[in-house]
Amino acid sequence: MTDFFFGDKDFENLAPPPRFFLPAIGRPVSTTPSHSVLEDISSFLKETKSVRLVRIVHQRALVSGLLTTYSFISSLCNDITVRYAALDAFVEAQNALEIHCPSSLFCWNVLISQNVRHGRLDDALLLCRRMRRFGTRPDHFTLPLVLKASGQLSSLRLGRSIHGVVCRDGFQSNVFVCNALIAMYDRCGSLQAAVYVFDEITSREIDDVVSWNSIVAAHVKAGQNNLALETFREMGHDMNRRPDVISLVNVLPACTSLGAVSKGKEIHGCALRIGLFSDVFVGNAIVDIYAKCGMMTDAVGVFNSMAVRDVVSWNAMVAGYSQNGNFAQAVSLFDEMRKEKIVLNVVTWTAVIAGYAQIDLGHDAINVFRQMQQSKTEPNVVTFISLLSACASVGAHRQGMELHGHALRRHLIIAGDDDMVTNGLIDMYSKCSDLITAGVLFNLVPVCNRSIVTWTVMIGGHAQHGDANSALELFSQMLSADSNICPNDFTVSCALIAASRLSALHFARQIHAYVIRHRSFTPMVFVSNSFIDTYAKCGDIGAAEKVFDLITRKNSVSWTSLMTCYGIHGRGEDALLVFEKMRKEKADLSPDGVTFLVLLYACNHSGMVNQGLEYFESMERDFGISPSVEHYACVVDLLGRAGRLQDAHELINRMPMKPTMIVWVALLGACKIHSNPGLAEFAAQRVSELDSENDGSCTLLSNIYANAGRWQDVARIRRHMKNSGVKKRPGCSWIEGKKKGGVSTFITFYVGDKSHPQTSQIYALLHDLMQRIGALGYTPEMNCALHDVDDEEKCSLLSEHSEKLALAFGLLTYPSGSIIRITKNLRVCEDCHSAFCFISKIADREIILRDPSRFHHFKQGLCSCGDYW
DNA sequence: GTAGGGTTAG
């Protein structure tokens, strides 16, 4: 460095001395800068790593009048802005340029280029406009730069106008400009325009390998993987445009998306032949295709043969194992990465978090996130989405809320089209049963920005954790909204969950009709299985069977769904036949834990104690499936219902795991049926230890005491419930009715409900019916009236049960001969059961009554559940 | 020019 600027040899060791900024104090600039001095400055600026020194040179140039020389301006435009990308450097460069040499195309170009490089896209475009105002026309360097800027801004309008300039100024034959046009149209999502430019240059044979790579990449990005592969094949014919590393890296993901392993293998061979395999990018893409296509052995082979591996290679392997359902292997590879001291990046951490979320180990996912934070890796949008799904899977409301705060602070929630973080938040809040917050977030998203996933998570949230009616309402709203939103498999399944919870047969049929009408929507096995379940739960066994028969590729869920259908309708023998048929005809479909649960349930509700016990024994012995708590609860119920209370209790004592509430509730229920207050007290005690606010068990125990006439104990329980704030859920029943205009709706009746406009008619009919069936031999089951009152009052309390009110409404309003379907939120009592039998006979009606555990078909005085009630 | 993500059934 010459004396001209610094003088001091050991300048680097000095603190910035004010004299360099104030010429009055510092050495005066006496020499006019010579050419060699400027060259020195230029090479200094290119080499120095110190932003501080660049800043000093910049300031020095300002005060010394050097800024007016062309040489320094070009250096300012380029070298200074490279190192020192502060706003003032850009502003001064532009000012100096406009004042002293506005006709220097070179200076404009380097300044625009620096602006683009530093992401100052709007400024770059503005500069281009300024240069034109000064009469300097953009050339084949300028145009690709501003095309890149408009591409990065995704501004098709701007890109098109630059395309106009390209044509007007005759740059269509410049391959750089054309390649930039292709890349711009690609980024703006207009494959068609990109292809147009590409076809034009190839027809004039001015294309090169970059053009081909760009157009292949554009096809891949637009999801046109087959066309991408075809284009790639075409380029192979000409030796002038032999595929390079970038060609391979572009085309391999197309094979991956298509699952075209053989094509991938071909490209793998090609890479080895032409010596491109050593490139770590190519190697990574090859590992990725094998891993994603489930060929982990091949992926391992490639991974091991790579001379250079980076964190991406490892990530591809971790993701491969995780996506192929071998999460244990993924985690062990993750541990190996840590042992090998690979610098983990956000993708690595996120892949592991997502893996845990997928297998519902949300707490492990959250722990990994804590470690990630300790390693100072910044989470991004993808990390948050995975974490939210982890919280949703385990109902971690508090952690979910924390994440919501994080996301807000990091500005990761972008108000725009299909904001996946918001979708994740809505889903998380829904699955944590916080439908209020979920609804607030959902309503904050403008309708035009709601994607199908946004709608689906909200519909699914209401269907599974909230009000099923709201779910169906949202589904209709979505279809009638002006947006071009089309339900997908997920949406339909969620709507069906809502329909099945309400037993909304009409709704299920409408959804089915919609699915059939929209030919573009081909129901896959997943949706068909949902239909089987929904029809079963709406009481239409025939429809469920029909859907089952029409599935071409039934999976084990299809078979299990049909078994459930028979199970809940008390057709245990049929459920068992389905199971045996599946074993015989579809040996490749293996039953799992749920299949056995359904099987045990079916045996349970059809009184097939011995068969049930046999299946319970065989599941571990013959199928290697260890029974879960749910299986035990089912067998406790099975034994209990059969009166084998002692056996049930002993089974609980033998359980390899700690019995949960459902097990004790099953025992408690059995104690009710077989009037065993002693054991019931014990079971109720266990339930209250596990969940002191369980209203069901309190009510059950109080009923048991009431049956035994132990009114003091009843009062004690009542007091306990009152003191501890446990509220008995009110029993209610609902039935489909018609609103004005024939739109179907649900009418809900509570015990003793008098809110319906037709109340007087309903009660009159009920009164009449009770008298008529009394004449036929019906006697009220006083046990079911749990109030310490006289018999006459008990009778009237019984006759006001919600299901009886719903039945009277049905008899009043349904056309004769139609089936009356009623759903109840709590278990149907014996008195209503008996009354329904009689009423079905005298009114000559088929009645289907559903409660949380089963269906009762009443016909001609008989019920499908027979003796096993 | 490479890697990671959200919604569904028994």
Q: Is the CB of A253 under 7 A from strand B?
A: yes
Q: Is the CB of A105 under 7 A from strand B?
A: no
Which residue type sits at A193? A
How far apart, in whole angstroms, are the C-alpha atoms of residue A81 and residue A86?
A: 7
At residue A690 the predicted structure's pLDDT band, cuts being 50, 70 and 90, is confident
Q: Is the CB of A736 under 7 A from strand B?
A: no
**Which of residues 797-856 of A have CB within 7 Å of strand B?**
none
**Which of residues 370-389 of A have CB within 7 Å of strand B?**
380-383, 385-386, 388-389
Determine what percent of chain A is predicted with pLDDT higher than 70.
Answer: 91
- Tell me the pLDDT tens digit for each residue of A536-579: 999 999 999 999 999 988 999 999 999 999 999 989 999 999 99
Q: Give the range among A58-67, A255-264, A295-304 with minimum mean pLDDT.
A: A58-67
Q: Which two tokens stand for residue A139?
A: 């050339």
Q: Is the CB of A300 under 7 A from strand B?
A: no
Q: Give the range among A131-140, A304-313, A316-325, A712-721 with minimum mean pLDDT.
A: A712-721
Nucleotide nearest to A452 (CA to C1'): B7
Q: Is the CB of A556 under 7 A from strand B?
A: yes
- Average pLDDT of the residues in A121-146: 94
Nucleotide nearest to A534 (CA to C1'): B9
> Residue A633 has what DSSP assignment?
H
Gap from A246 CA to B1 C1', in Å?
5
Which residue type sits at A645? L
Nucleotide nearest to A347 (CA to C1'): B4
Is residue A14 scored above 60 in pLDDT? Answer: no
Query: β-strands A862-863, A855-859: how paired?
Result: antiparallel
Is residue A46 scored above 90 in pLDDT? Answer: no
Q: Is the CB of A600 under 7 A from strand B?
A: no
Q: CA nearest A575: which of A540, A536, A547? A: A536
Gap from A352 CA to B4 C1', in Å?
9
Q: Is the CB of A400 under 7 A from strand B?
A: no
At residue A22 the predicted structure's pLDDT band, cuts being 50, 70 and 90, is very low
Nucleotide nearest to A555 (CA to C1'): B10
- pLDDT of res. A606: 86
Q: Is the CB of A244 under 7 A from strand B?
A: no
Q: Is the CB of A280 under 7 A from strand B?
A: yes
A391: enclosing H helix or E strand: helix A381-394
Is residue A787 scored above 50 in pLDDT? Answer: yes
Residue A92 neighbours by CB under 8 Å, 6+ apart? A58, A62, A67, A76
Q: Is the CB of A599 under 7 A from strand B?
A: no
- pLDDT of res. A7: 38
Is residue A10 scored above 70 in pLDDT? Answer: no
How far apart, in whole angstroms, are the C-alpha atoms of residue A271 and residue A217?
A: 18
Residue nearest to nucleotide B4 (CA to C1'): A347
Is residue A330 scored above 70 in pLDDT? Answer: yes
Give me chain A's average pLDDT, please. Answer: 86
- Average pLDDT of the residues in A6-11: 38
Is residue A868 scored above 60 in pLDDT? Answer: no
- Average pLDDT of the residues in A591-616: 92
Nucleotide nearest to A530 (CA to C1'): B9
Gap from A322 CA to B9 C1', in Å?
22
Is residue A31 scored above 90 in pLDDT? Answer: no
Is residue A21 scored above 50 in pLDDT? Answer: no
Gap from A571 CA to B4 C1', in Å?
48
Which residue type sits at A822? I
Q: How far is CA A206 from CA A173, A176, A179, A201, A203, in A?
A: 7, 10, 11, 6, 8
Chain position carrying tokens 């169906």: A472
Is residue A26 scored above 50 in pLDDT? Answer: no
Is residue A307 scored above 50 in pLDDT? Answer: yes
User: Residue A349 class from Cβ within 10 Å (0-12 exposed, 13-18 middle, 19+ buried)?
Assistant: buried
Query: Other C-beta atoms within 10 Å of A283: how many?
Result: 25
Q: Give the range among A175-184, A687-696, A766-775 with minimum mean pLDDT.
A: A687-696
Radius of gyration of chain A (CA): 37
Q: Is the CB of A11 under 7 A from strand B?
A: no
- pLDDT of res. A33: 52
How far apart, in whole angstroms, are the C-alpha atoms of residue A219 and residue A212?
A: 11
Q: Which residues pair with A848 in a beta bridge?
A: A821, A857
**Which of residues 321-340 of A have CB within 7 Å of strand B?**
322-323
- pLDDT of res. A238: 64
Q: Which two tokens stand for residue A593?
A: 């834990």
- Range A62-67, long-range pairs (CB < 8 A, 24+ positions): A62/A92, A63/A21, A63/A22, A63/A23, A63/A29, A64/A23, A64/A29, A65/A29, A66/A33, A67/A92, A67/A96, A67/A100
Q: Is the CB of A254 under 7 A from strand B?
A: no
Backbone phi, then psi, for A852, in 5-degree steps?
-60, -20
**Which of residues 202-231 of A have CB within 7 Å of strand B?**
214, 217
Residue nearest to nucleotide B5 (CA to C1'): A382
- pLDDT of res. A71: 76
Collapsed DSSP state (helix, strand, coil) of residue A250:
helix
Residue nearest to nucleotide B2 (CA to C1'): A281
Gap from A30 CA to B2 C1', in Å?
55
Question: What order do you get walking across the sheet with A744-750 strand by strand?
Answer: A744-750, A732-738, A820-824, A847-850, A855-859, A862-863
Q: Is the CB of A418 under 7 A from strand B?
A: yes
Gap from A448 CA to B1 C1', in Å?
34
Q: CA nearest A66: which of A94, A96, A106, A26? A: A96
- pLDDT of res. A111: 92
**Which of residues 497-516 of A have CB within 7 Å of strand B?**
497
Q: Is the CB of A451 under 7 A from strand B?
A: yes
Residue nearest to nucleotide B8 (CA to C1'): A490
Q: Give the range among A1-5, A352-356, A631-635 with minimum mean pLDDT.
A: A1-5
Q: What is the DSSP string of A701-753?
A: HHHHHHHTT-HHHHHHHHHHHHHTTPPPPPPEEEEEEE-GGG-EEEEEEETT-
Q: Which two tokens stand for residue A438?
A: 């979920």
Gap from A750 CA to B8 C1', in Å?
32
Q: Is the CB of A721 under 7 A from strand B?
A: no
Which residue type sits at A590? S
Which residue type sits at A356? Y
Gap from A186 CA to B9 C1', in Å?
39
**Half-sphere CA count of A623, side-chain side, radius 13 A:** 20
Asked whether A671 and A679 are in contact (CB, 8 A), the reply is yes
A142: enclosing H helix or E strand: helix A142-152
Chain B nucleotides close to protein (CB under 7 A) are 1-10
At residue A791 the predicted structure's pLDDT band, cuts being 50, 70 and 90, is low
- pLDDT of res. A520: 61
Gap from A308 CA to B9 C1', in Å?
44
Backbone phi, then psi, for A114, in 5-degree steps?
-65, -40
- pLDDT of res. A519: 64
b/e map of A115-149 (b: 16 or more CB within 10 Å)? bbeeebbebbbebbebbeeeebebbbbbbbbbbbb
- Average pLDDT of the residues in A595-599: 94
**Half-sphere CA count of A146, side-chain side, radius 13 A:** 30
A476/A34: higher pLDDT: A476
Could you tell me the pTM of the whole model?
A: 0.82
Q: Is the CB of A186 under 7 A from strand B?
A: no
How far apart, in whole angstroms, are the C-alpha atoms of residue A869 and residue A867?
A: 6
Gap from A420 CA to B5 C1', in Å?
8
A55/A458: higher pLDDT: A458
How far apart, in whole angstroms, are the C-alpha atoms of residue A754 and residue A297?
A: 69
Query: β-strands A847-850, A820-824: how paired?
Result: parallel
